């Protein structure tokens, strides 16, 4: 039985990127800015989009018109890498990756054995995504299958498009957080059958990272991917120098870190590798050849002292990149804050990340990195109607700065530098208002 979704019509200032590009210098010509625009949705999808004066006649008496005269409406933010169970441990002091996992992360994740607890955090997490204008996310759960149920159930309330999976982890972690090669395979398989392609949910096979899976478990993960080629693979890669040295010790027969995943059949066009801060040339080449994608997580890379992701190398090597908050190593749910730090990470490497390139990675580029650009990422007719209404002047300082913005690019850059969740006025999922700021 298909559910009827009310039609909506939104009038306002719209900004998006029309097409995928292969060089950052091509982005500016793909920018579409409509000062007085109209977007009409039907059954959650975009039915009409264009200038208000051309579209008025399209308005049927049934669609409710919402007018945002001073705001800026952009496609919903896409978060390519985030851990929902780590929401409560954001801002844990003083450690780099491997100690941080042992001291803070594993104890926190143990609590998700309790489904009621997982439900409570999942509801908080989904609301936090909406509050920050994020409409699609690729999410790590915990080793417990019930943590995946909790998340997909919470997202279904808003018909939100999420990609998520159960962590596979059978060594180098507390016993209470370890599965086995066999149980990880069976549990993941059941979850794929239960959730993948149900509503807007998609499943990701989720080995935590190479050090916490035995070769047998990675082989089982690869078997699952071969059996269900439409599902995603989501893991971590080359985040921290001690981690990389550990992988070399654990898998001496593999030529580099990525080669571990590649050997077990875990690279490919629906594979997302978080971080990739310290990739060697051979790994970049493998990322390109297998059409694998990267989640760039600047707030996390700075917070854990992991390093600086070389974004320009991803263009040079033609590897798709989206943006990840990586909560709880990352320090904000907000893609505006994430872009603020992304800019600085690039500045330290002599690369000036433009506002339009930032918008690209956070919307259409992220959708392309998830192989979802036929459904998400801009306002093209037929795509799913997920978008965010931004108030550019949420503080006195922003008001002062925005009054001086002469171009939409400058206004956007100032928003990305100064902005946070206070700038998210409303978030629409599948054409329906899922969040509105109330103060
Ligand atoms: N590598 C393995 N597990 C994790 C995690 O939970 N967070 C981050 N940032 N890196 C990881
Ligand atoms: Zn992570």
CATH T-level assignment (fold) for domain 8-75+379-436: Urease, subunit C; domain 1 (2.30.40)
Low pLDDT (below 70) residues in the chain:
1-3, 61-62, 439
Q: Where in the chain is the domain with CATH 3.20.20.140?
A: 77-333
DSSP 4: P
Q: Is 369 in the pocket of ligand 1 (CB under 6 A)?
A: no
90 Cα–ligand 2 center, Å: 12
25 Cα–ligand 1 center, Å: 33
Both tokens of 408, joined, read 């939409």
95 Cα–ligand 2 center, Å: 15
Question: What is d(CA 87, CA 145) in angstroms, rounded to the nearest whole number?
Answer: 18
- Report CA-CA distances (Å) from 334 to 26, 73, 362: 26, 16, 11
Given this model, what pLDDT does residue 329 score?
Answer: 98
Given this model, what pLDDT does residue 148 score?
Answer: 99
Q: Which ligand lies nearest to the CA atom of residue 207 in the structure? A: 1
For a ligand 1 pocket test, name from 99, 101, 275 the mutation site with the most ligand atoms within 8 angstroms of its C-beta.
101
| Nearest one of 26, 22, 12 to 356, comparing CA atoms | 26
Asked whether 294 and 267 are in contact (CB, 8 A), the reply is no
Task: Using only the alpha carbons of the chain, give its radius of gyration.
Answer: 21
| Nearest one of 312, 317, 262 to 288, comparing CA atoms | 317
Asked whether 295 and 342 are in contact (CB, 8 A), the reply is no
Question: What is d(CA 154, CA 159) in angstroms, rounded to the nearest whole number?
Answer: 9
Given this model, what pLDDT does residue 23 score?
Answer: 98
Given this model, what pLDDT does residue 62 score?
Answer: 64
Given this model, what pLDDT does residue 285 score?
Answer: 98
| Nearest one of 265, 245, 317, 262 to 98, comparing CA atoms | 245
Q: Across-strand partners of 207?
A: 168
86 Cα–ligand 1 center, Å: 10
CATH superfamily of 77-333: Metal-dependent hydrolases (3.20.20.140)
Measured in degrees and rounded to the nearest 5, phi and psi for residue 144 equal -80, 125
Q: Where in the chain is the domain with CATH 2.30.40.10?
A: 8-75+379-436
DSSP 95: -
DSSP 46: E
Kindly write down the DSSP assignment for every residue of 28-49, as one continuous string. Answer: GGGEEEEEEEEEEEETTEEEEE
Given this model, what pLDDT does residue 1 score?
Answer: 47
Asked whether 89 and 108 are in contact (CB, 8 A), the reply is yes
| Nearest one of 437, 427, 425 to 70, comparing CA atoms | 425
pLDDT in tens, 52-68: 999 988 887 667 899 99
Q: Is 270 in the pocket of ligand 1 (CB under 6 A)?
A: no
For a ligand 1 pocket test, name from 274, 298, 303, 328 the mutation site with the most ligand atoms within 8 angstroms of its C-beta.
274
334 Cα–ligand 1 center, Å: 19
Given this model, what pLDDT does residue 6 score?
Answer: 85
At residue 381's C-alpha, the angle toward residues 13 and 335, to 5°, is 55
Measured in degrees and rounded to the nearest 5, phi and psi for residue 55 equal -105, -15
Instruction: Name which residue sits closest to atom 11 of ligand 1, judged by CA.
Output: 236
Look at the block and give the residue holding tokens 């050849």. Answer: 289
Instruction: Name which residue sits closest to atom 9 of ligand 1, judged by CA.
Output: 329
Q: Is 401 in the pocket of ligand 1 (CB under 6 A)?
A: no
The closest-lying atom of ligand 1 relative to the alpha carbon of residue 243 is: 1
pLDDT in tens, 231-249: 999 999 999 999 999 999 9
Protein residues within 5 Å, CB atom, of ion ligand 2: 274, 326
Question: What is d(CA 146, CA 91) in angstroms, rounded to the nearest whole number?
Answer: 26
SS3 assignment, position 282: helix
């Amino acid at each position: 039985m298909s559910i009827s979704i009310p039609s909506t019509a939104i009038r306002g200032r719209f900004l998006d990127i029309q097409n995928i590009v292969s060089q950052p210098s091509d982005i500016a010509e793909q920018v579409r800015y409509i000062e007085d625009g109209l977007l009409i949705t039907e059954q959650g999808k975009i039915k009409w989009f264009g200038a208000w004066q051309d579209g008025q006649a399209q308005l049927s008496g049934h669609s409710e018109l919402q007018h945002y005269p001073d705001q800026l409406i952009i496609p919903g933010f896409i978060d390519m890498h985030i851990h929902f169970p780590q929401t409560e441990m954001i801002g844990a002091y003083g450690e780099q990756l491997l100690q941080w996992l042992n001291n803070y992360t594993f104890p926190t994740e143990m609590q998700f054995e309790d489904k009621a607890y997982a439900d409570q955090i999942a509801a908080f997490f989904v609301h936090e995504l909406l509050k920050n204008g994020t409409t699609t996310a690729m999410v790590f759960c915990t080793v417990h299958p019930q943590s995946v149920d909790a998340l997909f159930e919470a997202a279904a309330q808003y018909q939100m498009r999420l990609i998520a999976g159960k962590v596979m982890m059978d060594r180098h972690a507390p016993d209470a957080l370890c599965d086995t090669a066999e149980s990880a395979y069976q549990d993941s398989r059941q979850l794929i059958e239960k959730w993948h392609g149900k509503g807007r949910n998609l499943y990701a096979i989720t080995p935590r990272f190479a050090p916490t899976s035995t070769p047998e478990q990675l082989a089982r993960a690869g078997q699952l991917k071969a059996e269900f080629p439409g599902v995603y693979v989501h893991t971590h890669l080359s985040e921290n120098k001690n981690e990389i040295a550990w992988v070399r010790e654990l898998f001496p027969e593999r030529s580099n870190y990525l080669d571990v995943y590649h050997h077990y059949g875990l690279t490919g066009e629906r594979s997302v590798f978080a971080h990739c801060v310290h990739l060697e040339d051979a790994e970049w080449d493998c990322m390109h050849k297998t059409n694998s994608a990267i989640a760039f997580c600047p707030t996390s890379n700075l917070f854990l002292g992991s390093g600086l992701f070389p974004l320009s190398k991803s263009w040079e090597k033609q590897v798709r990149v989206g943006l990840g908050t990586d909560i709880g190593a990352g320090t904000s749910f907000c893609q505006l804050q994430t872009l603020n730090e992304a800019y600085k990470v690039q500045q330290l490497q002599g690369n000036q990340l433009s506002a339009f390139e930032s918008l690209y990675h956070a919307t259409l580029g992220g959708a392309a990195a998830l192989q979802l650009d036929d459904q998400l990422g801009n306002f093209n007719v037929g795509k799913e109607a997920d978008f965010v209404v931004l108030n550019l002047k949420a503080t006195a300082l922003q008001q002062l700065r925005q009054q001086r913005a002469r171009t939409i690019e400058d206004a956007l850059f100032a928003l990305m530098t100064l902005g946070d969740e206070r700038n998210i006025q409303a978030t629409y999922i599948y054409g329906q208002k899922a969040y509105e700021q109330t103060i």
